[in-house]
Homo-oligomer: A and B are copies of this chain.
Amino acid sequence: MKKLRVAILGVTGAVGQEFLSVLEERKFPIAELRLLASRKSAGKKIKFRGKFYKIEEAKPSSFDGTDLVLASAGAKVSRILSPEAVKRGALVVDNSSAFRMDPRVPLVIPEVNPGDVRKNKGIIANPNCSTIIMAVPLYPLHRVARARRIVVSTYQAASGAGMQAMRELEKQTQEILSGKKPTKRIFRHQIAFNLFSHDSAVRDDGFTEEEFKMIQETRKIFGAPRLKIVPTTIRVPVLRAHSESLVVEFEKPLSENEAHKILKKAPGVEVVDRRHDNYFPMPVDASGKDKVLVGRIRKDPSSENGLAFFVSGDQLRKGAALNAVQIAELLFKKH
């Protein structure tokens, strides 16, 4: 893989910071690095591979002469700047929701639909974090037994709402432990020692936007437009890994043993399923890890070909930055 001129859009955010860690760890070949953010962060310096880089304000000309843009600056910014980067010849891996459901834009999880990257017209969308963490362990089972209906409840970390949300969880916790009233700034509801329905808008059908993303995006990534999914998305007082409880009905029979075997060989997945000492996937174990942990694998006695399992995955890594960098690796590896 040749060395690339890389721009990171939204570098000061939680995912932006994770981009830097992932690029460093994976020894991603970088010829030139541009760190872009909003005007208020311009001028600040960030260290990468022992060298300091000055953050520049992101504008269309920032992308002149870049090969790859890793974007995580929100849908509004992406809608304006990602096409500008494409115009200037860059490939954009976009972590926002702006282009995910655009039929001309591939939505890719490298462990699931790597081939879709080839259909890109400059932008490749990175899926929602809850979608990725569900899809990575689900897909290998789906390939064998074909999922028909998925009931999923999430336990989502503060990190999904950004770095400030993680700090808010810590601050509120400190306030409550000192007998003070928790200060609410990022989340509408108290997050410390509490939980609440995901902080995205609620649609007319009663599902949150987050739940709608899990439905639509999974269908697109799996190429299964009629796959039935009923998600309930909940924010919990955990710092950075999302967990999900899944009950899946398959078309074909799938035993607990077969599921174990499939998942043990599946890419991006680590089976953590120790019944004898009650050790299963946990956010503290998933945090900082590349793999999605899966466990509590058991036959669902209430449906014909049902299987239940529980997963935890690092929302900032596999749920965002790592998946985007893996997409970039797919895009450039043949050059």
Residues of A within 8 A of B (CB): 149, 151, 153, 155, 169-170, 173-174, 177, 188-190, 193-197, 199, 201-202, 205-207, 228-230, 232, 234, 236-239, 243, 245, 247, 256, 275-278, 280, 282-284, 295-303, 306, 308, 310
Contacts and interface: CB of A to CB of B under 8 A. Distances in A.
Contacts of A276: 202
Given A237-B238, A282-B195, A303-B149, A296 B229 contact: no
20 contacts: A153-B153, A170-B177, A174-B177, A188-B278, A189-B282, A190-B284, A193-B238, A195-B238, A205-B298, A206-B256, A206-B296, A206-B297, A207-B298, A230-B247, A230-B300, A230-B306, A230-B308, A232-B310, A234-B245, A237-B238
A206 B151 CA distance: 18
Contacts of A295: 197
Contacts of A278: 188, 196-197, 199, 201-202
A300 B230 CA distance: 7
B275 A194 contact: no
A259 to B, nearest CB: 11
A20 B310 CA distance: 38
Most B CB within 10 A of own CB, among A149, A277, A295: A149
Q: How many copies does the complex hold?
A: 2
A229 B297 CA distance: 16
A229 to B, nearest CB: 7
A302 B230 contact: yes
A283 B201 CA distance: 21
Given A177-B177, A197-B278, A230-B306, 18 more contacts: A149-B302, A151-B151, A170-B177, A173-B177, A189-B282, A189-B284, A194-B283, A195-B236, A195-B243, A195-B282, A196-B278, A196-B282, A197-B280, A202-B275, A202-B276, A230-B303, A236-B236, A237-B238
Contact of A234 (B149, B155, B256, B308): B155
Contact of A155 (B173, B195, B199, B229): B195
A299 B238 contact: no
B190 A310 contact: no
List the 4 closest A-B pairs by CB distance, nearest first.
A206-B298, A228-B302, A153-B153, A153-B245
Nearest to A278: B202
A304 to B, nearest CB: 11
A205 B302 CA distance: 13
Given A155-B195, A173-B177, A237 B234 contact: no
Most B CB within 10 A of own CB, among A151, A155, A174: A151
